[in-house]
Amino acid sequence: MADANHEKSLEEQIEQWRGHLRRRQDVLTVDVAALEHRLRDEVAGLTRAGLATDEAFLVAVKRLGTVDPLSREFARERSERVWRQLAVAPSDSSERRAAARKEALIALGFAVMAGVAIKVPALFGIKTTDDAAEGFYFRNASLFVLPWLIGFFFWKRRPALNTVGWMAAAFVVAAVVANLPGFGQVRSFGELTALHLPIALWLGVGIAYAGGRWSQVSGRMDFIRFSGELFIYYVLIALGGGVLCAFMALTFQTIGIDIKTFFQSWLLPCGAAGAVIVASWLVEARQGVLESMAPMLTRLFTPLFAAMLVAFLGTLLLSGRGVAIEREMLIGFDLLLVVVLGLLLYSISARDPRAPPGVFDVVQVVLVVGALLADAVALWAIGARIGEFGFSPNRVAALGENVILLVNLAWSAVLYVRFLLGRGSFSSLERWQTGYVPVYAAWAAIVVIVFPPLFRWIG
């Protein structure tokens, strides 16, 4: 039975190697059959020498790479993927446990500092329970949390001092803009600042997380994967925290003590801030556990969202109705497109780029095309709203975001269809998506920094 499993594993790996060569023959013409014969001979010789099948395959492909550039490319990608799956830690179990405890304590320390930071304004009379201070905390929420998250990753990655310097400068500028009269403090720009500032600053988290690999596709793809897993962990922590709060309130109510003020002033704001760092540490420390969960959720919800978009577009076409142009409806529509884009990004990050096209890839194309058409409908609705009510910061921001999504989805659809037809590689889709990440941050920064003076000047 074991020999049969090893044989199956070898055949699957050879099929992935063969598919990689065939998809990349536009780069260099190769004799796949001759190379495969040589590869199998190498694997057979290495296994007779005592290597495991997986090890023998990887070594054999690396040897083949000396004469074949495409095999060398495949071996390099496979080695990087295997290396990312291994926990780089001291060999001694006691040292490993000590390192894990130290990292947990450091993460807890950063989480506590994030919770304390959100209470510092209360020392100056700006309390989380005051209705008048709601806008202040809404605008500055990312400034209370993200510096500590970046600090945690800086502690882990040990970046260059100049990276730390300009990152600190970026946050200082963000804090000034978010609270400067005429910018974030203006009521018409407060919501835009609160929504877009975290997006712009999240790019800084990505640079800190990548630790010098941000210029590489693999580094940006790892950050995309981290972002998806962080969202899942944070939601799980929030659900658990909600259950804890409910039981805590019930327990204290039995002895006649109302702890509502404690919840509103301390537990909820400090817990929400610290949970971001705790969830990030869990993603780092428990990657193997979540790797089986996140792809499963992606595969579950991708077909459901694809079916929903197809049903919506079909109903829209058959009924002849237009999309409601109310502001709340358009915001909800844009959130749907963001969720769809998130599913696409995470499914790309979790997929083996060397695997041949499958049924799930067809579902992905349906999802992307459906989202592309839905985005076009949303753009029409936004254009109609601008034509009826004129330009405003909110409408122009929504217009720009939908145009950015449209460009992303359109080219993603082209690259995915080319991959399904065997005319392109999956890695081109990876490069496109990871290279597009800074565009969102750039637009968010424009909304926060440029829109206030621009619309004051126009007005």
CATH (residue range 292-424):
1.20.1440
Q: Give the model's pLDDT for residue 79.
A: 60
Q: For residue 322, what pLDDT band results from cuts at 50, 70 and 90?
A: low
Q: Give the model's pLDDT for residue 1.
A: 45
What are the extents of the domains in the chain?
Answer: 2-85, 95-288, 292-424
Provide the CB-side half-sphere exposure for 150 (13 A, CA): 24
Q: For residue 292, what pLDDT band results from cuts at 50, 70 and 90?
A: low
Tokens matching residue 347: 């499914």
CA distance 258 to 249: 7
Q: Give the model's pLDDT for residue 56.
A: 80
Q: Give the model's pLDDT for residue 242.
A: 87
Comparing 101-115, 130-144, 169-183, which segment has the lowest mean pLDDT? 130-144
pLDDT in tens, 328-354: 666 777 788 888 888 888 888 777 777
pLDDT at 2 over 60: no
Supply the pTM of this predicted model.
Answer: 0.74
CA distance 78 to 147: 34
Q: Give the model's pLDDT for residue 90.
A: 44
- Note the Cα 2 to chain centre separation in Å: 38
Alpha-carbon separation of residue 100 from 156, 251, 277, 283 (angstroms): 12, 35, 16, 13
CA distance 223 to 387: 39
